[in-house]
Structure 1
Amino acid sequence: MSQLAEAVLNGASPDEIEKAPLPDEYLALHLRAEDVTMFDGVADKDVRKSLRLGQVPMPELAPDEVLVAVMASSINYNTVWSAKFEPIPTFRFLEQNARQGGWAERHNRPYQVVGSDCAGVVVRVGAGVRRWKVGDQVVVHPVQADEQEAASQADGMMGEEQRAWGFETNFGALAEYGVVRASQLVPKPAHLTWEEAASNPLCAGTAYRMLVSDRGARMKQGDIVLIWGASGGLGAYAIQFVKNGGGIPVGVVSSEEKAAAARALGCDIVINRSELGITDDVGDDPEQVIKAGKRLGKLVIERAGRAPDIVFEHTGRATFGISVFVVRRGGTVVTCGSSSGYQHTYDNRYLWMRLKKIIGSHAANLQEQWEAHRLFERGDIVPAMSAVYPLSEAAEACRVVQTNRQVGKIAVLCMAPRTGLGVTDPELRARIGEERLNPLRGRTEGPERL
């Protein structure tokens, strides 16, 4: 263990942390550029074969960056995409980033450290950092926005150079250390453990923008919101934002186990996909899309009283045409992803003749992330963590997500030696209650790894 890691884990003072020397290398889950063709012609692109755990060089900090000792991270589907090298190898993103010149050139390496969620301790700050200091406990907003672009002044997500950290950049979160911009930092909720806090930023921020933000569906009290994949990482936070905002979540899941998880989050109306006869190829058959849409619409009306005002979409090809069909006249389909395929087809008559809307949404800007964070601080929204793996088994955790065997989020301990650490407000934690804070704990298939 390095002197710096030892100082952080022992709760050393900021001055002691700053005096501890930086290690030349650190342990990280990463991809290698030499492997980008390894899955050519392979049906099962098993991410455990491409993700490597090993030492990588410690990068130099830019003036507007901080170095975070990563106590915990979590698995997102963007790491699965990176590790499959689909739809394109993310090394191309690193090359594009480097073309800006200057400090951006560091990102173009023959390796990429992946991961977009982080809770940890600031151990170094760049010369231009003003609002953060060594020793601060933080979570990391997963978007790197370019504050020098005009569009970013209105919405950080609208800049051409905004990037998803650890997906479109290097030096991500599934490691002992992460390099982030100061404009990505948010204070860690004091009542949460490292692993709980690390499970939230990407999925919670994304769901908040999709549903609550004025740039998303603008959900209001009483809205019926149909949530695909309601027991997954995005869906688990969508359920909570809908309930917290006075809406009515209607979850769609793929098994009775996942239905139970959705109910544990407060989703009173849950539909099993087996009731709809939906397979991953249904989106390719217009007749089957309409039939499935009619079945789904009937179930929603029977159980919720009317067609959904909003459909929360991220599964893509298999469900998108159904979503456009089933949302009410004048309703909104809001989408942030396409895990079942990017090429969507839908019957446009049901869009234009019934005055429906499709909104594309991507991650969250910093203000939206802070607004979502405030709800975590109050205990109104809680972590969707269901399991914890050590960094040594992070590739296996990615495989669980790749094969859709998880419920909610899988956390990964990076520098933290065990679960349960990082709580600095035990009184608030006790008031909220352990059961309330961990509604999904233990629900992911297989034994917890820690």
Structure 2
Amino acid sequence: MTTLTEAVTTGSSGEELLRHPVPEQYRAAFVRAEDTELFTGVEDKDVRKSLHVGDVPMPELAPDEVLVGVMASAINYNTVWSAMFEPLPTFGFLKHLASQGGWHARHDQPYHVLGSDASGVVVRVGSAVQHWKPGDHVVIATAHVNDQEPASHADSMLGEDQRAWGFETNFGGLADYTVVRASQLLPKAAHLSWEEAAVNPLCAATAYRMLVSDRGARMKQGDVVLIWGASGGLGSYAVQFVRNGGGTSIGVVSSPEKAEILAGLGCDVVIDRTEIEQGDPGSLQRPEGWKRLGKAIRKAVGEDPHIVFEHVGKATFAASVFLARRGGTVVTCGSSTGYQHQFDNRYLWMKLKRIIGSHGANLQEQWETNRLIQQGRVVPALSAVYRLDEVAEAARSIQTNRHIGKVGVLCLAPEPGLGITDPATRARIGEDRLHAFRAADGGR
């Protein structure tokens, strides 16, 4: 352990952190360029074979960047994609970024440090950074944007130079240290532990933009919202936003255990998709499955969904287009089961429905989401916690859909439960509510 690392983990002041040199290397989870053909012709692309943990060189800090000592991080599906080298190896993203020259050239390495969520302590700031200083407790927003691009000043997610940090950039959050732009920082919710705070930024803000933002579905009071994968990372936050916004949430899950969790989270209606599939997992890709699900929804709430919250992709997209009511909206941010969607376009054009593409969240949306978390109106979906040395197993649990909610990873934090500086707010919210997902997943 370096002296700086020890100072971070013992809660030293910002002044004390500045007295310790930045290490030349740091521990990180990464994939290697030499392994990009590892899974060619292999059916089970087991990410435990491609994810490595070891020391990597510390990058130099650009003027608008911040070096954060990462206390905790989380696994997102983009980490799984990166470790599977699908749909493309992420080293192509890094080379494209590096081709812009200057500080971007650092990102083209034979290794890619992954991770698009993190909480931690600021240890250094670049010469152009305002508002942040060493010692600040922060969480990190995912969007890596170019503030000199005109489109960014309308909506940074529309900028052509916008990237997902830790997926389309190097030096991500599954590490003891990470390099981020100052425009990615948010204040950590003081009532949360490091691992509870780390799991929120990507999924919570993505769900916020999809449902609440004026750039998404613009959910209003009374809207019926169908949420696929409602017990997963994205879906569990979507359920909370629908509840907070006065809507009716219909969560689709894949087991009775997940259904029980959602009921405790405040989901109005929970549908176990195995009951709809009736022993045929492919039925939800055909009209007979769509109609059975539509009948179950109408039986439960008396009407069709105003909004369908879609991120599963190929396996559910045709059903989503069918199930949205006349004039309804399908909002999508991903395709975990495949990108090539087929659907019956008659249900789209003849019933005047809309499909909205949504990606990440801009800094204002991230800030608004974080404010709700700070107030306790949105709680972490943390179900399990692994150590950084166990990151491959943690990613495998996501890859094989064994998880509920979000999976956290301890980096510099030596144990769970640290980093809470506002116990009064925590007591007001209640441990039962904050630990709902942990209890469901056995409390790892």
TM-score normalised by L of structure 1:
0.97
Paired amino acid for 1:265: L
Paired amino acid for 1:35: D
Paired amino acid for 2:23: P
The structure 2 residue matched to 1:367, chosen from 364, 373, 396, is 364
**TM alignment of 1:424-443, pairs within 5 A:** 424-443=421-440
CA distance in 2, matches of 1:95, 1:112: 11
**TM alignment of 1:194-233, pairs within 5 A:** 194-233=194-233
Paired amino acid for 1:29: A
Match of 2:407 in 1: 410
Paired amino acid for 1:383: P
Contact 1:309 1:332 in 2 (8 A): yes
Match of 2:139 in 1: 139
Q: Say which SS state the counterpart of residue 440 (structure 1) adopts.
A: helix
Match of 1:331 in 2: 328
| Identity over aligned pairs, percent | 65
**TM alignment of 1:334-349, pairs within 5 A:** 334-349=331-346
CA distance in 1, matches of 2:393, 2:281: 24
CA distance in 2, matches of 1:377, 1:289: 43
Match of 1:314 in 2: 311
CA distance in 1, matches of 2:208, 2:172: 23
CA distance in 1, matches of 2:52, 2:78: 16
Match of 1:124 in 2: 124
CA distance in 2, matches of 1:121, 1:12: 10
| 1:159-218 C-alpha deviation (Å, 9 max, x unpaired) | 001000000000000000010000000000011000000010000000000000000000
CA distance in 1, matches of 2:235, 2:264: 13
Match of 1:293 in 2: 290
Match of 1:107 in 2: 107
**TM alignment of 1:158-237, pairs within 5 A:** 158-237=158-237
Q: Say which SS state the counterpart of residue 54 (structure 1) adopts.
A: strand
Contact 1:316 1:337 in 2 (8 A): yes
Contact 1:280 1:340 in 2 (8 A): no
CA distance in 2, matches of 1:341, 1:438: 32
Q: CA deviation at 1:442?
A: 3.3
CA distance in 2, matches of 1:282, 1:26: 48
Match of 2:82 in 1: 82
Contact 1:332 1:357 in 2 (8 A): yes
CA distance in 1, matches of 2:283, 2:88: 25
CA distance in 2, matches of 1:78, 1:443: 24
Paired amino acid for 1:361: S
CA distance in 1, matches of 2:74, 2:265: 19
Q: CA deviation at 1:353?
A: 0.5
TM-score normalised by L of structure 2:
0.98
CA distance in 1, matches of 2:76, 2:345: 32
Q: CA deviation at 1:282?
A: 4.9
Q: CA deviation at 1:429?
A: 0.8
CA distance in 1, matches of 2:281, 2:158: 32
Q: CA deviation at 1:430?
A: 1.0
Q: Say which SS state the counterpart of residue 42 (structure 2) adopts.
A: coil
| 1:314-352 C-alpha deviation (Å, 9 max, x unpaired) | 000010000000110000000000011100000000000
Paired amino acid for 2:364: Q
Match of 1:350 in 2: 347
CA distance in 1, matches of 2:321, 2:275: 19
CA distance in 1, matches of 2:396, 2:209: 28
Paired amino acid for 1:208: Y
CA distance in 2, matches of 1:275, 1:154: 45
CA distance in 2, matches of 1:13, 1:378: 26
Paired amino acid for 1:150: P
Paired amino acid for 2:356: I
Contact 1:152 1:159 in 2 (8 A): yes
CA distance in 1, matches of 2:87, 2:419: 37
Paired amino acid for 2:105: E
Root mean square deviation of aligned Cα? 1.1
Paired amino acid for 1:404: N
Paired amino acid for 1:83: A
Match of 1:14 in 2: 14
Paired amino acid for 1:371: E
Alignment length (residue pairs): 443
CA distance in 1, matches of 2:398, 2:233: 10
| 1:267-296 C-alpha deviation (Å, 9 max, x unpaired) | 12111111221866557xxxx522111111
Contact 1:282 1:318 in 2 (8 A): no
Q: CA deviation at 1:100?
A: 1.0
Paired amino acid for 1:430: A
Q: CA deviation at 1:105?
A: 0.5
Match of 2:246 in 1: 246
Q: 1:96–1:80: structure 2 CA closer, same or farther, 3 Å change rule?
A: same
Contact 1:280 1:318 in 2 (8 A): no
CA distance in 1, matches of 2:78, 2:258: 22
| 1:32-80 C-alpha deviation (Å, 9 max, x unpaired) | 0000000000000000000000000000000000000000001100000
Q: Say which SS state the counterpart of residue 406 (structure 1) adopts.
A: coil
Contact 2:383 2:443 in 1 (8 A): no
Paired amino acid for 1:205: A
CA distance in 2, matches of 1:240, 1:438: 15
Contact 1:387 1:442 in 2 (8 A): no
Q: CA deviation at 1:304?
A: 1.1
Unaligned runs of 5+ in 1: none
Q: CA deviation at 1:447?
A: 6.7
Contact 2:274 2:281 in 1 (8 A): no
| 1:347-387 C-alpha deviation (Å, 9 max, x unpaired) | 00000000000000001000000011111111011000011
Match of 2:379 in 1: 382
CA distance in 1, matches of 2:391, 2:49: 12
CA distance in 2, matches of 1:268, 1:212: 18
